[in-house]
Structure 1
Amino acid sequence: MRILIAEDDLTSRTILSAVVKKWGYVPVAVTDGEAAWEAMQKEDAPQLALLDWNMPGLNGLEVCGKLREIDTADPPYIIFLTSRSEKDSVVEGLEAGANDYVIKPHDNAELLARVRVGQRMLEMQAAMNAAKKSLTHEAMHDPLTRILNRRAILDFLQKELSRAMRHGSLLSIGMIDLDYFKRVNDRYGHQTGDDVLCGLVRTIQENLRDYDLVGRYGGEEFLVVAPCSSGGEDDELYERLRAGIAGQGIATRSGVVSITVSIGVVGTTGSRSMDDLLADADSALYRAKKSGRNCVVHAEKV
């Protein structure tokens, strides 16, 4: 772990750097508050800071306050290491955002214990952030296919509709339904059916562009959100998807299973509500099913 040592006194800074290094940490020593602030802005910024109060430029209290103004999930652990022993100073330092306050002259064993407390707090913070990130990912993704779930893809669609309206750009929505999926489940079983769904998603992703997104809308239905520069561009996109799926069997535990999809498409510049657009895409999909499946139908042609 990297530890910032912000101390303007050369002797104190040198001794403290040597002690911190002996403890097994990496000292990052600076001579004033401005340098301390700059060090904490870097990509490899120290996770823990030992701040003197009285320094040239920014003092320790000001550095602490600026660090606490940063909105981050990984704030540094800050320990004031200062000769200011007045009760009011201790209170002021802690209220500025410091996690701990050590008065000079300090005992190295006590300081090490406090640094280790800080390290444990940082490790707990990192573990909580990782758990939160994992829970957020799980809340947004379909557990089988690992793509966005219905709620997440609809949230993304709403944001893209707002963006399309602001910029006057074209957005296409494709509703994809796996043809005769019930027959797959009846013939091969639901585990093979799951293999087919996962394989279908991989094929869809292989045929999408980097800025397109697909989510599981429900059951064997998937929703594609794709920015387009023209109506002809979305024609090419969804026909490529349809042909790519029809021309490529899905490897499953029961062998290779051939599938096709029907696709309903609607284009918009964001001027209509999401519910209306989804209803149009669903109507186009219904028309595709009625037209024999394995085809793409656009809402404007319904």
Structure 2
Amino acid sequence: MKILIAEDDKTSRIMLESVLKKWGFTLVLACNGKEAWDIMQSKDAPKLAILDWQMPEMNGIEVCQRIREIGTSNPPYLIVLTSKDEKKDIVKALEAGANDFISKPYDAQELRARINVGKRMVKLQFNLSDAYKKLKYEAMHDLLTNIYNRRAIMELLEKEIARGKREKTGLCVGLCDLDHFKKVNDTYGHQIGDEVLIAFTRLVTDKLRLNDHVGRIGGEEFLIVASGSKGLKQDVMFERICEYVRSSEISTEKGSVPITVSIGVARYTGVENSDVLLATADTALYHAKKTGRDSVVYADNI
């Protein structure tokens, strides 16, 4: 584990460095509060820091306060080391954001015990943060295809509508439906059907641009949110997706499965909400299905 030692007194710093190295820690050293603050802002900053209270340029209490102002789900564990030992000093350090307080001269075994407490807390915090990230990811992604789920893609659409209204940027939505997908399930089984859905999302993702997103909104239906699209007729991305899917047979355990997709596209004009956009795209998708499938229909052309 990497630990920051911020101590302006050279003798004290060397003693701490010697003891902590003996205990197997990797150390980062700072001679004043400004150096400590710069180190704790770095991308790979130590997750445990021992900060002397009295340091030039910035004292340990100020460093604690600044670190606690950084918004993070995985904050470092901070130990303030000082010759101050009155109750008001302890309270001041803890209120500044310190996790622990050790008075000089310190007992080596007590220091080790307190550092070990910090190690456990850092590990616990990391595990909690990691679990939160995983839960957040799972809440936003479809478990089968690993793309956005309905809730996430709709939230993204709402944000893009707000951005389009604010910045006057273009926005298209494409409602995609795999043609005759029930036949795929009936012929090959649902496991192969799942493989087809996964492969389809990969094909679509290959053709998306940097600011485009796709989500599964149910069954074999997918929604593409294409930001920055100025005009439907000039935007050939949806035709490319349709053609790419048509020319790409899906390899499965039961052989190659040919698929096609129908897409209904609606353009945001500055007044529609998400429900209206989806309804408009759905109407265009219905026309694509009705006129033979395996095609793109733009709502403006109906």
**Structure 1 residue 301 corresponds to structure 2 residue 298:** no
Root-mean-square deviation (Å): 1.2
Q: What amino acid sits opposite 2:242 in the alignment?
A: R
Give the drift of 1:50.
Answer: 0.8
Q: How many angstroms does 1:52 deviate by?
A: 1.2
Letter in 1 for 2:121: M
After superposition, the C-alpha distances for 1:217-254 in whole angstroms (9 at most, x for unaligned) are 111100001122433332x1111111111111111221
Name the SS of the counterpart of 1:272 in structure 2: coil
The amino acid that maps onto 1:277 is L
In structure 1, what is the Cα distance between the partners aligned to 2:247 and 2:98?
A: 63
**What is aligned with 1:41?**
41
1:262–1:295 CA contact under 8 A, matched in 2: yes
Residues 40-189 of structure 1: pairs in structure 2 closer than 5 A: 40-189=40-189
Aligned to 1:276: 276
Q: Runs of 5+ in structure 2 lacking a partner?
A: none
| Superposition TM-score, scaled by structure 2 size | 0.97
Deviates more, 1:83-92 or 1:35-44: 35-44
> 2-side partners of 1:143 and 1:270: how far apart?
33
Which aligned pairs between 1:192-231 and structure 2 lie closer than 5 A? 192-227=192-227, 228-231=229-232
Q: Is residue 219 of structure 2 the alignment partner of residue 245 of structure 1?
A: no
- The alignment status of 1:264 with 2:264, answered yes or no, reads yes
Q: Which amino acid aligns with 2:258?
A: S
Is 1:168–1:269's contact at 8 Å kept on the other side of the alignment?
no
Following superposition, the deviation at residue 269 of structure 1 comes to: 4.1
Deviations 1:107-129 (A, max 9, x none): 11110111111011101111111
Structure 2 CA distance, aligned partners of 1:231 and 1:297? 10
Shift of 1:48: 0.9
Q: CA deviation at 1:32?
A: 1.6
* Residue number in structure 2 paired with 1:233: 234
Instruction: Give the partner amino acid of 1:208.
Output: L
Find the aligned partners of 2:201 and 2:27 in 1 and give their Cα distance. 49
CA offsets per residue over residues 24-46 of structure 1, 9 Å max, x none? 11222222211211121122212
> Percent sequence identity over matched residues?
52
**Deviation by residue 1:145-204 (Cα, 9 ceiling, x = unmatched):** 111000001111111111111111111100000111111111111111111111111111
Secondary structure of the equivalent of 1:232?
A: coil
Answer whether contact 1:3 1:47 (CA < 8 A) is retained.
yes
Q: Distance in 2 between matches of 1:27 and 1:237?
A: 52
Secondary structure in 2 matching 1:231: coil
Q: Which moved more, 1:189-198 or 1:202-211?
A: 202-211
Deviation at 1:22, TM superposition (A): 1.3
Q: Secondary structure at the match of 2:98?
A: coil
The number of residues matched between the two structures is 301
Question: What one-letter code is carried by the residue in structure 1 that aligns with 2:111?
Answer: L
Distance 1:64 1:287, change over 3 A: same
Mean CA deviation greater in 215-224 or 26-35: 26-35
Q: Is the contact between residue 83 and residue 104 of structure 2 (CA under 8 Å) also seen in structure 1?
A: yes
1:3-42 alignment, distance < 5 Å: 3-42=3-42
Larger mean CA deviation between 275-284 and 67-76 belongs to: 67-76
Q: Secondary structure at the match of 2:234?
A: helix
SS at match of 1:284: helix
Give the residue type in structure 2 aligned to 1:181. F
- Once residues 292 and 20 of structure 2 are traced to their aligned partners in structure 1, the CA distance between those partners, rounded to angstroms, is 74
Provide, for residues 254-301 of structure 1, a one-character-per-residue CA deviation record: whole Å limited to 9, x for no partner: 110111111100111443111101000000001111111111111111
CA distance in 1, matches of 2:231, 2:292: 27
SS at match of 1:224: strand
